[in-house]
Amino acid sequence: MNYGFVIDNRKCIGCHACTVACKAEHDVPLGVNRTWVKYIEKGEFPDARRFFSVLRCNHCADAPCVTICPVTSLYTREDGIVDFDPNRCIGCKACMQACPYDALYIDPNSHTAAKCNFCAHRIEVNLEPPCAVVCPEHAIIAGDLDDPATEISQLVRLQQIQVRKPEKGTNPKVFYIDGDAASLTPAAAPIPDTYVFSQPRMPGVLPTGPATSSTGVLSDELWQRVQAAVSGAAPSARRIYDAGQTHQDSWGWKVSAYLWTKSIAAGSLMVTPFLWGWGNPAHEASLRLATTVLSLIFLALTGALLLADLKRPDRFLWVLTRPQWGSWLTRGSYILLAFGAIATGLLVSQIAGWTVLWNWLALPAVAAGAGAAVYTAFLFWQSKGRDLWQSPLLPLHLMLQAVVAGLACVLLIRAVDSQPLPTGSGVIEAWLWYALLASAALILLESTAIHQTADAKAAARFMHTGWRLGVFAGGVMIAGHIVPLVLLYAPSSRASALAAVGVLAGLACFEHLFVRAGQSVPLS
């Protein structure tokens, strides 16, 4: 069996009966929906036409939400239905980033993820989902796609059908007959300041400013400029009504801060084994001790931020005790656990004077630091809903960020150390100078390169518009790269320390912009 939906747009009248029936069946709270209807208008009076699209979970054959879930809260049943178990969910919101269709939400009552589950409890007793039952025009057809005798199977075989975002490779099982591209493509129709009966619920997307409305939502004019830049022409469709989720800031400042603290922790541990051979063993030992301690401190901060970002932090340990090994959230948690164990062993061996053990742990420490730095790239790649995060350069960029952060921390530690500088200590400045140069080149390449999708291009442009342009130019490039590159030429520990402060501040600015930009493009 292989259940799916057909939405017949030739019949849909936009009555919202499906939305109401779904809310009644599952007691869905206000402000969130498992299924909803979007209105699109095209043309000008008197030749205008309105299109209705029923949007919901697509019950993908290759569901990215199932892959990214670290605790198997989301799973695919034998009958093809993508179901969820709220009793396992930890509220990490990774599934919301992975879903290209904006189908998941966090239930405000249980603080766990939820979505359309095809009313599996009704399917098991041979009943149709209520959305299909109540539709007055029989525009929603549910059934077994593998059974050639079913109505849905015949419609899919005989009618011209469309699916949403086929390029994502998820093999969605919600098919649209006579579906309009402007209705099924989120960026094709501008998001207005207000609808007839409501306002778009998009908190945190943009601050109020010249290009936004008083609600902080992208205005029609700005959306038209963005779309014109992406497609070469202003959009021809208008979004008249939409009651769905927008989830454009579900990973907020805590995730940005986690990337920053993790870079410092990983980089500090990675550079530790290389702090030797400068002619002053006591000073080298103190630097290695300080960087190891700093690495453990920022590892603890990273863990605290991850815990704080969960909607159900009381279930945090389930990532380790009930792991779903396909998720990079699970793999990353174990990488950080191994990281902490190796860093602790390195610290204890140095304090105890166990030189042989320290030498044995030096290489694993570099590997653990590299793993901790890079694993987030694979997690972001599993977030298929966010095109900007699919960059193939992301692992290299995260590695460079960790190296830069670690070298900057060494310079700050060295600046407060009362011992005289060892011979050849300027090698740190040289390493940081070249790493910064590579980082600046990579940021500019990612910002200006031709992106594979229009959504990725729009997200990249998001970092360079409005107030974000000042943060990017002033914080990331000038304070974080150009000024430190100049200061590192000066033969002064104070100049090196100032350069290090600028580097860490610029890194924090970039993480904030990158996380927000990836979520700036609507998914439904």
> What tens digit of pLDDT does each residue of 358-415 get?
999 999 999 999 999 999 999 999 999 999 999 999 999 999 999 999 999 999 998 8
Q: Is the pLDDT of residue 116 over 80?
A: yes
Comparing 180 with 211, which gets the higher pLDDT? 180
Same domain membership, residue 370 and residue 481 = yes
Same domain membership, residue 292 and residue 163 = no
Same domain membership, residue 299 and residue 173 = no
Amino acid in position 253: W
Note the helical H segments in 141-212. Answer: 151-158, 181-184
Overall average pLDDT of the 179-195 stretch: 79
Residue 193 in domain: no
State the pLDDT confidence band at 248, using cuts at 50, 70 and 90.
low
Comparing 186 with 156, which gets the higher pLDDT? 156
State the pLDDT confidence band at 267, using cuts at 50, 70 and 90.
very high
d(CA 261, CA 307): 14
Comparing 159 with 190, which gets the higher pLDDT? 159
Using alpha carbons only, what angle is made at residue 112 by residues 110 and 115, rounded to the nearest 5 degrees?
110
Same domain membership, residue 461 and residue 317 = yes
* DSSP string computed for 352-404: HT-HHHHHHHHHHHHHHHHHHHHHHHHHHHH-TT-GGGG-TTHHHHHHHHHHH
Q: Is the pLDDT of residue 140 over 70?
A: yes
Comparing 45 with 121, which gets the higher pLDDT? 121
SS3 144: strand
Q: Is the pLDDT of residue 148 over 90?
A: yes
Taking each helix axis as running N to C, give the angle between helix 427-448 and helix 394-416, from 0 to 180 degrees, rounded to the nearest 10. 150
Q: Is the pLDDT of residue 177 over 80?
A: yes
d(CA 88, CA 312): 10
The reported pLDDT for the residue numbered 420 is 59
The H-or-E segment that residue 36 falls in is: strand 35-42
The reported pLDDT for the residue numbered 213 is 37
Overall average pLDDT of the 453-471 stretch: 89
Neighbours of 111 (CB within 10 A): 16
Using alpha carbons only, what angle is made at residue 39 by residues 35 and 41, rounded to the nearest 5 degrees?
160
The answer for residues whose C-beta is within 8 angstroms of residue 495's C-beta and 6 or more apart is 487, 488
Q: Is the pLDDT of residue 79 over 70?
A: yes
Instruction: Give the mean pLDDT of the chain.
Output: 88
Same domain membership, residue 257 and residue 179 = no
Q: Are the C-beta atoms of residues 138 and 18 closer than 8 Å to each other?
A: no
The reported pLDDT for the residue numbered 231 is 46
Overall average pLDDT of the 108-131 stretch: 95
Residue 194 in domain: no
Is the pTM value of this prediction over 0.85?
yes
Q: Is the pLDDT of residue 208 over 50?
A: no
Radius of gyration of the chain, Cα coordinates, nearest whole angstrom: 26
CATH number of 153's domain: 3.30.70.20
CATH number of 279's domain: 1.20.1630.10
Overall average pLDDT of the 56-71 stretch: 97
Among the residue ranges 85-94, 281-290, 415-424, 476-485, the one predicted with the least confidence is 415-424
Residue 514 in domain: yes
Name the residue among 370, 518, 509, 507 with its Cα closest to residue 439: 507
d(CA 12, CA 319): 43
State the pLDDT confidence band at 199, using cuts at 50, 70 and 90.
low
The reported pLDDT for the residue numbered 424 is 55
Count of structural domains within the chain: 2
Q: Are the C-beta atoms of residues 75 and 31 closer than 8 Å to each other?
A: no
Residue 227 in domain: no
Residue 222 in domain: no
Q: Are the C-beta atoms of residues 477 and 249 closer than 8 Å to each other?
A: no
Overall average pLDDT of the 28-50 stretch: 88
Q: Is the pLDDT of residue 2 over 60?
A: yes
- Peptide bond connecting 148 to the previous residue in cis, omega within 30 degrees of 0: no
Residue 238 in domain: no
Residue 333 in domain: yes
SS3 325: coil
Residue 243 in domain: no
State the pLDDT confidence band at 196, using cuts at 50, 70 and 90.
low
Domain that holds residue 273: 253-518
State the pLDDT confidence band at 192, using cuts at 50, 70 and 90.
confident
Same domain membership, residue 147 and residue 264 = no
Positive or negative torsion for Cα 325, 331, 335, 337: negative
Comparing 455 with 403, which gets the higher pLDDT? 403
Neighbours of 432 (CB within 10 A): 26
Name the residue among 276, 207, 25, 4 with its Cα closest to residue 130: 25
Between the alpha carbon of residue 187 and those of residues 182, 183, 201, the distances in Å are 8, 9, 16
The reported pLDDT for the residue numbered 425 is 61
Same domain membership, residue 508 and residue 388 = yes
